């Protein structure tokens, strides 16, 4: 019976050894995968740092452009105001010239052309 008991113990030890070996192999695989994940994470962190710097530069440039556009908007409003004033002045000159031309036509006896077609 001692041989049978010894044989059973050996079989039991082999089963346990096999299970421990499987656990060790799984542990090594997980360790390798963990190193790969850490390496990828490190690479992604570097890319995120670069991207973060780029975003900061874009925001800074955007801020500068916004200031320039605001300044240009003010200039454009001034130009528009001047154009309107010039347009009004030209309109007044046109009316004055039209009156003078109409007076000359009347004096010479030519027919007057209405401002608007009828």
The tens digit of pLDDT for each residue in 50-69 reads 888 888 888 888 889 998 99
Residue with tokens 């320039």: 68
- C-alpha dihedral sign at 32, 38, 41, 42: negative
Convert the pLDDT of each residue in 3-23 to its tens digit.
888 889 899 899 999 999 998
| Contact yes or no for 115/98 (Cβ under 8 A) | yes
Residue 36 pLDDT > 60: yes
SS3 117: coil
DSSP character for 118? Answer: -
């Amino acid at each position: 019976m001692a041989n049978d008991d010894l044989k059973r113990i050996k079989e039991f030890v082999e089963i346990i050894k096999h299970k421990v070996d499987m656990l060790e192999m799984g542990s090594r695989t997980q360790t390798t995968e963990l190193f790969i994940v850490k390496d990828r994470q490190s690479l992604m962190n570097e890319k995120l740092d670069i991207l973060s710097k780029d975003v900061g530069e874009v925001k800074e440039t955007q801020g500068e452009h916004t200031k320039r556009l605001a300044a240009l908007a003010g200039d454009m409003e001034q130009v528009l105001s001047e154009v309107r004033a010039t347009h009004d002045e030209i309109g007044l000159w046109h009316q004055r010239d039209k009156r003078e031309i109409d007076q000359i036509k009347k004096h010479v006896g030519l027919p007057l052309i209405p401002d608007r077609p009828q």
